[in-house]
Amino acid sequence: MKRIGKQTISFDSPPTILETASIVGPKEAQGPLAKYFDQCLEDEFWGEKTWEKAESKIIKETVNTVISKSGIAASDIDYCFAGDLLNQCISSSFGLRELNIPFFGVFGACSTFVESLCLASVFLDGKAASNVLCATSSHFCSAEKQFRFPLELGNQRPPTSQWTVTGSGAAIVSASGKGPYITAITPGKIVDMGIKDANNMGAAMAPAALDTLITHLQDLDRKPSYYDMIISGDLGYIGKEIVTELAETKGYNIKNNYEDCGVIIFDKEKQDTHSGGSGCACIGTTFSGYFFKQLRNRKLNRILLIATGALTNATTSQQGESIPGIAHAIAIEN
């Protein structure tokens, strides 16, 4: 592998995304992408007593699903990278504790899935591993409880707010295989444009997504049209519009091939999700469920996946701090 330009790494023998799996909650199951997910739950508890236990179970079962779908024995997986939104990434730790695979806890807020894929690719191309597992999860109820208000509180959600996706996405990446290949990664910088409104995460993260996108294109000397699709994680309607418009002011036209997972996972009108989906599982499940199948069926051949994260916590946002954003990009090609 080698560094190209300011931030990008390209791989000599690009790792293959061997298999993906996704499990989603009931609200996502009513959304437009329902048929692409491996499993849709009927209730948010999934037989558990707490939201936190339910989230751990979701990531655990998603990982079990991806392992059995891939046909690789769990003992042949060398490392796993996983993370989530709950304090100290507890859903991943509980969900994966019985797996017996060396574990790296990763925190990149909602960018965790792609951050894990970045790290896995470097491990694989560096010959440190031959199979690596990446997983992430989020849960609407546990996230609301930790970051916002109790679910029973009768408050109104402002139109800029986003709906945390309940679910988990997991992928197994291998050093050898027939693709889709991870050909390059662009880890992002922390970008903070001073947005403080915790109900407008899309606007807080959009500058980071834009920075990573432009850096990636400059580093590799590519035009946006190189990709069949540029996909951001969970910017929602407002963030998507901001990225599209600001990219244009910098001379990049992405109007025709840019989509956001937060926009497509829910039906805004029918599901009352305001600015769209968010959470680690937003890009985790949308990529694992929908886009990976599009790559496999060759309906898409080159995509740029940009996962976005809001690096905030409940305490600092009460202290009036702004919300730093981050975005990591990976290029996936057949």
Q: In the complex, which residues of this chain contact another protein (CB under 8 A)?
A: 44, 49-52, 140-141, 145, 149-160, 193-195, 197, 199-200, 203, 207, 238, 241-242, 245-246, 248-250, 272
Closer residue to another protein (CB): 113 or 266: 266
19 versus 52: smaller Cβ distance to another protein: 52
2 bridge partner residues: 10
Residue closer to another protein, measured from CB, 184 or 238: 238
75/319 with CB nearer another protein: 319
CB of 155 or CB of 319, closer to another protein: 155
CB of 255 to another protein, least distance (A): 13
Q: Helices in the chain by DSSP H: which ranges?
A: 26-29, 51-70, 90-96, 112-125, 140-147, 201-219, 236-249, 261-264, 268-271, 280-285, 292-296, 314-318
User: Three-class SS of residue 8?
Assistant: strand
CB of 220 to another protein, least distance (A): 22
Nearest approach in angstroms of CB 11 to another protein is: 33
Q: Report helix, strand or coil for 308.
A: strand
The one-letter code for the residue type at 301 is: N
* Least CB distance to another protein at residue 160 (A): 5
Three-state secondary-structure class, residue 133: strand
d(CA 113, CA 231): 13
Burial of residue 189, with CB atoms counted within 10 A of its CB: 0-12 exposed, 13-18 middle, 19 or more buried: middle
Q: Whole-number minimum distance, CB 168 to another protein, in Å?
A: 17
